[in-house]
Amino acid sequence: MNTVGHLINGEQRSDANRTQDVYNPSTGEVIKQVALASKVTTEEAIAAAQAAYPSWRDTPPAKRARIMFKFKDLLEQNADKICTMIGEEHGKISHDAKGELTRGIDNIEYACYAPELLKGEHSKNVGPSIDSWSEFQPLGVVAGITPFNFPAMVPLWMYPMAIVCGNTFVLKPSERDPTSTLYIAQLLEEAGLPAGVMNVVNGDKEAVDTLLNDERVMAVSFVGSTPIAEYIYSTASANGKRCQALGGAKNHAIIMPDADMDNAVASLTGAAFGSSGERCMALSVAVCVGDVAADTFIAKMSESMKSLKVGAHCDASNDFGPVITKQHMDKVIGYINSSQEQGAAIVVDGRNPTVGEGYENGFYIGGTLIDHVKPGMTCYEEEIFGPVLLVVRAESMSDAMQMINDHEYGNGTCIFTRDGEAARYFSDNILVGMVGINVPLPVPVSYHSFGGWKRSLFGDLHAYGPDAVRFYTKRKTITQRWPSAGIREGAQFSFPSN
């Protein structure tokens, strides 16, 4: 059986001692194995990155950017192959995988702008014959730890910008769907990146803890669940590393009585069930203001969901595919069961979906709609990460906003309304990092930055965009004076000023 290994110093490597099964979630079958990096193997990747750093740091930004331009071309040329890899190991339908890859490529395009982004600042004559300027210098070896749900896109949030800023990189992707991530890294080397600048180690907690505790690693980026994000952030910070750790979410959509209900239903159908709900920006809670709005929404959403198609990744007519593992399928079903036990009403039940012949053993959950959910229920408080949409009823917009602001997560939210004043008040006062107005998935484009508030983000800087430049560089300010010949001043004992 094929084993997915690592990429260290330009060479493919494998750990023979520890491996883990990789499943095709559409069929439930084991299709390959992935090597789990030991502490020694991970340290070798760090050493390779450290050795490559001095030369790469001194490479002009324009030359770094040219490699990224070539990398972008290679990804576009191999897009179908990459999307097939994603589908086989993640279960994502081809059209969804292509969307993921395209958003990743957008971040490479922004990274190609590095010569401009790294120009720094200059001020002449800040004092008599004194000039001052700032430079943005790389940190050194940096690491990324990424989740299973976007094996192409999320790593591309991290290492293109880190690398064009002059850093070297060690990536620890998810061991559940490793093939596309490793292949994309190999394409970066094919684009001309020197060996050792980009390294990939597949693994589990042993690899993660090695990255977090090794003093040669200067910064760590993470995307995953909140408990792990908190562990990553606290451990990295305790070891003196710069860290950004993006955690979980419970994204709410407020449905106002004046909303265009057909538009809201169409928008939330895709936002709740797309990618099987396995994305941190999935809209998982609809907060309907008033019973009339709630009843109308439920009726229209139930009708819309009749046409939802769940099935294998290889059938592009499907709307979404399986969840990642049987364990996760059982966990999502447990949340659905608990909602019923705690007093909610299951309107559309996806626990036993019909799928195509030959895929009966896959990890499938159909679109599920649950009404009369209340704060305090397990399904409301915790992130489900599956194709489940909860409906909560609120008496007023103020009550709906308070509900959102009280939740521990603050990743994304939106409001559906025709009232500009209500929309403005909502965006000004909601305690959430990414806000949509009649937009269900307010994911920032590549030249903005992505990140939530509260327990959805640990660290001060968001992912990709302008914040990525700040995260992967350190500012150095230089003040210079060349006195005119023959002019000498005596010692000054007061604090200098202009």
- For the chain, domains (ranges, CATH) are 3-247+456-478 (3.40.605.10), 251-437 (3.40.309.10)
Phi, then psi, of 191 in degrees rounded to 5: -75, -10
pLDDT at 484: 73
Residue 109 CA to residue 65 CA, distance in Å, equals 9
Candidates 63, 178, 156, 181; CA nearest to 105 is 156
**Cα 423 → chain centroid:** 27
SS (H, E, C) 276-329: HHCCCCCEEEEEEECHHHHHHHHHHHHHHHCCCCECCCCCCCCCECCCCCHHHH
Residues in the chain where the model's pLDDT stays below 50: none
Structure tokens that stand for 384 in this block = 């489900």
Integer Cα distance of 272 and 293 in angstroms: 18
Strand order through the sheet with 168-172: 11-13, 6-8, 198-200, 168-172, 141-145, 217-223, 242-246, 457-458
List the catalytic residue out of 83, 280, 288, 414. Answer: 280
In this prediction, residue 404 carries a pLDDT of 98
Q: Active-site residue 280, yes or no? A: yes
pLDDT at 316: 94
Predicted local confidence at residue 459, as pLDDT? 95
pLDDT digits (tens, 9 = 90+) for 295-334: 999 999 999 999 999 999 999 999 999 999 999 999 999 9
Maximum pairwise Cα distance, the chain: 91
Cβ 83 vs Cβ 98: under 8 Å: yes
